[in-house]
Amino acid sequence: MPMVVRKARTEDAHALALVVAAVAEEGFLGAEPPVDVEDRAEALRETIAGEGRAAAWALEDGGSVVGMASVGERFHGVLQLGMAIVPAARGRGGGRALLEAIMQHASVSGAHKIELEAWTDNGRAIAFYSAAGFEVEGIRRDHYIRRDGRLRSSILMARQLSR
């Protein structure tokens, strides 16, 4: 049975937050473990219920939520993308399906650009987004301080949408 992408509903917020918490354990998200699942779920509920260009999606496999993506409008017409898929569900087209839903949403909502950040050591994400037409726009060197005191650098990537 193929994975299914659908617009997230407020009742999905807890399951989406659990995906973020699981993926955060790998060290490839801005969210650090332990993720406060209830706080994350509340933020996702606000995104889901919000107005404007903000939106969230659930990736389901056999009826279970195994991935999520969300966008928020950082600047007028520029959507900030976040995505997470649990390890067992990767490599089966779910990321591409989530990104396709986001691109459709961006186009319909009138956004002109989608941006994201990836840790510089997250080669899998960088390759995925590069293959999808995202380009590196810059690097934030030693920009983020983690709970353990380490500094992390991120790559800024974006995709310009046709207008």
> Which tens digits make up the pLDDT trace of 45-82?
999 998 889 999 999 999 999 999 999 998 999 999 99
User: What dihedral angle (degrees, nearest 10) is formed by the CA atoms of 81, 72, 88, 25?
Assistant: 90
Q: What is the pTM of this model?
A: 0.94
Q: Is the pLDDT of residue 162 over 80?
A: no
Say how far apart CA 57 and CA 97 lie, in whole Å. 10
> Which tens digits make up the pLDDT trace of 124-153?
999 999 999 999 999 999 999 999 999 999
pLDDT-derived band of residue 2, with 50, 70 and 90 as boundaries? Answer: confident
Q: What is the pLDDT of residue 163?
A: 62
Distance of CA 64 to the CA centre of its chain: 18
Rounded to the nearest integer, the mean pLDDT of the chain is 96
- Write down all domains in the chain, each with its CATH number in brackets: 4-160 (3.40.630.30)
User: Which residues face 57 on adjacent strands?
Assistant: 7, 69
| Percentage above 70 pLDDT, the chain | 99
Which among 12, 107, 124 has a CA at the least distance from the CA of 57? 12
